[in-house]
Chain A
């Protein structure tokens, strides 16, 4: 039940995230709050830092400064600047991630890909894990591919398997890093269909994407990032149709002319 309590303390909160590569800032103080069940689309030119920011949320990229808090859990720095591994693991189990290049494990079949973390990270029995994996494959329409290796599946199928893999840990939030950029439009549509369905079921999602129609139709909010900072954000229709900033206008014009 959405209520005032959650508004006071957001479900996911990234505060003042900075990332530097060799002294050059790539992300310059981005803050973002996401409520339970909200779908946020992040758009922006390539190299703007949007993927880097997304990777900070589950600490695949350690921020130079700033904190990420998810449902009350945050990662503090331990000895030697490395994050405390216990907190890190806790955080990552709450956050699922889907990558641009799928990153399925080619040495494991589809069902084994989905079982691995359930068994090794959550300690489920193999039988439970398999049952759950098959149910998830069914949900993304790929039960018949269960015993195939990723190399034997199309790109769209691989990405759907990757989504099922991310869902297997019952994450509280799913991160998508340009999930359709490596796919041609037809296969991308399969993946977007699955994502849309998950959004309608109330999954909290943060999606870095170039798919403006997905941002407009599915997202609750669109954030435009350029040069490592959020330029503007808000209702998708407003940001995409009537952008306030000239930077946003230029970007959208370039995208539409393509």
Chain B
């Protein structure tokens, strides 16, 4: 069976697709913490730094970033292999998008919640830990999962600098096969198959975290959804 042969060949690339997208997601989730803190700072200067980070990282598409890191950094003597370059770039870019996701989560919590905490003399730290974050997570989680699925697909461009992921292998297989179309259909199906369980896991996690409570989170605006894609 031709399909089966193609499938097994492309299967070799799944681990790299998953490695790059998941590692980048976790790196981005970490980077987004200080950037979100900066964007919510009371000092305009610190907010400016946070805003500059988000705007710059999102203003330049991932491919130029990837080329800057992979082809450009070696002129400073910094040589990163393809996989590391991919993780770094999507981690940095992901940090910007996840910052916006965190922020929209916090924005969805009514201001009265912070005020009530302040009026009770609860410290800022505990207001975040006990009041804001548990409520914001409900808005953040579906957006973050959607972003992870987006990352899974967007990470395909790391094949351009030589990561042997699903996309790279499909290109190689296409050259040696007479069923070029079929190769890419199988590759497409693999990306679809990979994103389904992530979506299901996200929904399960969402129910687990929020199932008992009735209040539904405010939906993000349509434009926010666009930014996150």
A-to-B contact residues, CB < 8 Å: 58, 60, 82, 89, 92-93, 95-97, 99, 101, 103-108, 116-117, 120-122, 149, 151-152, 162, 165-166, 169
13 sample A-B contacts, Cβ–Cβ < 8 Å, listed by A number: A97-B116, A99-B116, A103-B113, A105-B113, A105-B116, A106-B213, A107-B134, A108-B130, A117-B121, A120-B123, A149-B213, A151-B213, A166-B120
Instruction: A62 to B56: give the CA distance in the assembly, Å.
Output: 35
B-to-A contact residues, CB < 8 Å: 42, 110, 112-113, 115-123, 126, 130-131, 134-135, 212-215
Determine which of B118, B119, B121, B131 lies in contact with A105 in the assembled complex, contact meaning CB atoms within 8 Å. B131
CB pair A103–B135 under 8 Å, yes or no, is: no
In the complex, what residues of A have CB within 8 A of residue B214's CB? Answer: 149, 151-152
New contact pairs (7) apart from A92-B118, A149-B214, A166-B119, CB-CB < 8 Å: A99-B115, A101-B112, A105-B130, A116-B122, A121-B123, A122-B121, A169-B121
CB pair B112–A165 under 8 Å, yes or no, is: no
In the complex, what residues of A have CB within 8 A of residue B110's CB? Answer: 101, 103
Tell me the smallest distance from the CB of B121 to a CB of chain A, in Å: 4
CB pair B42–A89 under 8 Å, yes or no, is: no
Instruction: A117 to B214: give the CA distance in the assembly, Å.
Output: 23
In the complex, what residues of A have CB within 8 A of residue B135's CB? Answer: 105-107
Task: Report which residue of A82, A99, A107, A149 has the largest number of chain B beta carbons within 10 angstroms of its beta carbon.
Answer: A107
CB pair A103–B126 under 8 Å, yes or no, is: no
Instruction: A93 to B10: give the CA distance in the assembly, Å.
Output: 63
Determine which of A92, A99, A104 lies in contact with B121 in the assembled complex, contact meaning CB atoms within 8 Å. A92
Is chain B's interface secondary structure helix, strand, loop, or mixed overall?
helix
The verdict on A151 contacting B113 (CB below 8 Å), with A116-B130, A169-B120 known, is no
CB pair B215–A117 under 8 Å, yes or no, is: no
In the complex, what residues of B have CB within 8 A of residue A103's CB? Answer: 110, 112-113, 115-116
Tell me the smallest distance from the CB of B149 to a CB of chain A, in Å: 26
In the complex, what residues of B have CB within 8 A of residue A101's CB? Answer: 110, 112
In the complex, what residues of A have CB within 8 A of residue B130's CB? Answer: 105, 108, 116, 120
A165: nearest chain-B partner, CB-CB: B120
In the complex, what residues of A have CB within 8 A of residue B115's CB? Answer: 60, 99, 103
A122: nearest chain-B partner, CB-CB: B121
Instruction: A96 to B213: give the CA distance in the assembly, Å.
Output: 26
Instruction: A218 to B23: give the CA distance in the assembly, Å.
Output: 63
Tell me the smallest distance from the CB of A40 to a CB of chain B, in Å: 18
Instruction: A26 to B221: give the CA distance in the assembly, Å.
Output: 32
Instruction: A97 to B122: give the CA distance in the assembly, Å.
Output: 13
CB pair A107–B213 under 8 Å, yes or no, is: yes
Instruction: A152 to B215: give the CA distance in the assembly, Å.
Output: 10
Instruction: A149 to B212: give the CA distance in the assembly, Å.
Output: 8
The 7 closest A-B pairs by CB, nearest first: A151-B214, A117-B120, A103-B116, A103-B112, A97-B119, A121-B121, A92-B121
